[in-house]
Structure formats: structure tokens, C-alpha cells
Amino acid sequence: MLEVGMKAPDFALMNQNNETVRLSDFLGKRVVLYFYPKDSTPGCTRQANAFAAQYAQFQAQDVAVIGISKDSTASHLKFAQKNQLPFLLLSDPELQAIQAYGVWQEKKLYGKVSMGVVRSTYLIDPQGNIELVMPKVKPDTNASDLLQYLAEKN
């Protein structure tokens, strides 16, 4: 995982509408980058819906919200439409950003060890530096925890 104060690695990934999005496009504003394992799974759906429900509060503070997983752009589009997600979902099948941000890690499930995305969130400051690192976040509280942090900082 990256650390607070480090320069956030830039990336160029496709969103759910097959448009290229770069982290550097957002210089001048804060960005929530939340990495999640898979579209349409229970935890990931709850996490996305929590961000969607509180999206207006992020917008009011000029904070962009971006979800990243290794799912395809088609999968992202279906997920975004089904859940009416108002923010960007980026597809990272080559693990470009996922590995750059250190969230591709060994996971254990029912005693079986495999590699996968560990649900983690980064807050990037307006200068493109890492302001906050949230490893192994809980899907239900990730968005509200971030809003609480932002409220305390402002």
C-alpha cells in the first residue's frame, strides 16, 4: 500500500462509457479512489450504493468519486445502470492502477489462498498527493467514514 504524502500514481483507464480517464484530469480537486473486488457482488454492491446515496455530499465538497476494479467496461456499465451509480467506474483488467496502489494482495477465503483486490480506498488531495489511506475498508461504512474525515478536515 502507498502512504500518506506520496505522489499518487497517475493512470489512464477506460470508464463504463469506454472513455479514457486519467487521475491527472482531476488535479485541483480531491478524489476518492476506491478499489473493489467485483461488480454485482453483495459487498461491492452495498459499497457502491453507499457512495451513490451520499454522492451529493461528496459533490458539495468538490470531491470526485471513482471506483476501480478489474471488471470490463461492459460489466461496469451494467453495474452502474442497474444501481443508478452517478460516479465513474474504471476498468483495470491489466491491474495497472490496482498494482500501482498496492491493493492486489494475497487473500484467504475458506482456507484457500489466492490473489485478488483487497477493498481499499485512497483520498487524493488537489495537488495529486495521497491524503488518506484506508486499507481493508468495510463496504457499508466506507463512504460515511470518508465524509466524516472530510467534515473534520474542513
Cβ-proximal residues to 123 (8 Å cutoff; 6+ apart), any chain: 30, 31, 32, 33, 130, 131, 132, 134, 146, 149
How far from chain centre, in Å, is Cα 45?
Answer: 13
The runs of H, that is alpha helices, within the chain are 42-53, 55-60, 73-83, 96-100, 142-153
Catalytic residues: 44
Is 87 within 8 Å of 55 (Cβ atoms)? Answer: yes
